[in-house]
Amino acid sequence: MAATILDGNKIRDEIQSELLQQIIELKRAGITPGLAAVLVGENPASQIYVRSKVKTCEALGLYSEKIERSKDSTTGELLELVNDLNRNDAIDGILVQLPLPPQVDTKRVLMAVDPAKDVDGFHPVNVGNLVAGRTGFVPCTPAGILEILKRSKIPLKGARAVVIGRSDIVGKPVAMLLLHEHCTVTICHSRTRDLPGVAREGDILVAAMGKPAFVTADFIKPGATVIDVGINRLTTEEEVRKIFHDPIGPLATLQKRGSVLVGDVQPEDARAIAGAFTPVPGGVGPLTIVMLMSNTIQAARMRRTVVSG
Question: Is 218 a known active-site residue?
Answer: no
Give, to the nearest 10 degrees, the angle between helix 8-28 and helix 140-151: 110
> H or E element: which one contains 296?
helix 285-303
Measured distance CA(240)–CA(230) in Å, rounded: 16
Is the separation of the CB atoms in 53 and 47 below 8 Å?
no
Measured distance CA(115)–CA(12) in Å, rounded: 26
State the amino acid at position 53 in one-letter form.
Answer: K
State the amino acid at position 16 in one-letter form.
Answer: Q
Is-cis flag, bond preceding 33, omega within 30? no
φ/ψ of 38, rounded to 5, equals -100, 120
Measured distance CA(115)–CA(123) in Å, rounded: 6
Question: Is 53 a known active-site residue?
Answer: yes
> Out of 92, 120, 203, 269, which one is annotated catalytic?
120
CA dihedral angle for residue 107, residue 110, residue 113, residue 114, rounded to 10 degrees: -70
φ/ψ of 69, rounded to 5, equals -130, 155
> Out of 22, 92, 97, 118, which one is annotated catalytic?
97
- Residue 184: Cβ within 10 Å count: 14
Q: How would you class 25 by CB atoms within 10 Å of its CB: exposed for 0-12, middle for 13-18, buried for 19 or more?
A: middle
> Which residues does the annotation mark as catalytic?
53, 97, 120
